Structure 1
Amino acid sequence: MNYDHITNVLPYTEPFLFVDELTEVTENGVVGTYTFLEDSYFYKGHFKDVPVTPGVILTECCAQIGVVCLGIYLLQNETNLPPRGMQRGMQIGMSSTQMEFLLPVKPNEKVTVTSKKIYFRFNKLKCSVKMHNTEGKLVCTGEISGMFKTSAHA
């Protein structure tokens, strides 16, 4: 299934967009992928001669796929706002995160993020997220919460 109606309204662009594809989206969760390309800006200094994806970037990838994409899907269904209106009138803020990092992610590595909704109420979404590498090994896991604000008149 094609989920361009979600990815097209993400409020991010290169070099800070960490969503390549969504493979599953339901009211209870999201599955998506991203490949960390070797020419990404953050590899130049993290770490010298042995590049590893910073944990904050892994967290951001999990947040974009697991919370923001799911939040857009839930808000589109709840408010019936057209995608373009959502893009102009949507504000997003991360409200909390708790992550555990288990394996490094190296340049050119593709990851899959799986998110499960814990709750969505009063425009606050809390999700359990997991990131796996192409070998199916768990890279990181945790919980991320975000707040969404929409305005139909923006």
Structure 2
Amino acid sequence: MEKIDIISKLPYSKPFLFVDKIIKIDENGVEGEYTFDADLDFYKGHFKDNPVTPGVILIEVMAQIGLVCLGVFLLNEKVNKNTLMALTSTEIEFLKPVFPNEKVTVHSRKIYFRFGKLKCKVSMQNEKKEIVCSGTISGMVI
């Protein structure tokens, strides 16, 4: 499966698509990028005069790249318009803020994929290669 095909099969669209590029992907993990556009609505109020990317959005980026993209790759031809992927659990530690116009890279390693449930160890780095957040994310195919 081509990397661009994976992105096209994601169940998201702008402004809630948080995957710009898949750098590499195989049955054990994925690496991808996203750049936070300064015009995204959540920056208007989080925080006044000093915008920071909300943690829930950082989790969403990690889930879209590190879990859903990998799930689409692993399921391959079984993914269609009726396939739903639901987030079931997260345990994330936040270490540094992410600001508007920052590009982040998400690294994900599969822990397991069985019975329709995928669990991954995921980390996000900024352009300085500093880890901004990391942890585990799980989801399942419905």
On whether the aligned pair clears a TM of 0.5, the verdict is yes
**Which structure 2 residue ranges, 5 or more long, are not aligned?**
none
> Distance between the aligned counterparts of 2:136 and 2:99, measured in 1?
23
> Distance between the aligned counterparts of 1:16 and 1:100, measured in 2?
22
> Distance between the aligned counterparts of 1:122 and 1:72, measured in 2?
15
User: Out of 96, 101, 109, which is 1:103 matched to?
Assistant: 96
- What does 1:68-147 correspond to in 2, within 5 Å? 68-76=68-76, 80-81=77-78, 86-147=79-140
- Return the offset for 1:89: 1.9
> Distance between the aligned counterparts of 1:98 and 1:40, measured in 2?
25
* Contact 1:11–1:87 (CA under 8 A) maintained in structure 2: no
Report the identity percentage: 57
- Tell me the equivalent position of 1:38: 38
> Distance between the aligned counterparts of 1:117 and 1:3, measured in 2?
18
- Tell me the equivalent position of 2:29: 29
> Distance between the aligned counterparts of 1:14 and 1:49, measured in 2?
25
> Distance between the aligned counterparts of 1:89 and 1:27, measured in 2?
23
> Distance between the aligned counterparts of 1:140 and 1:105, measured in 2?
10
> Distance between the aligned counterparts of 1:46 and 1:109, measured in 2?
16
Structure 1 SS opposite 2:63: helix
TM-score calculated relative to the size of structure 1: 0.90
TM-score calculated relative to the size of structure 2: 0.97
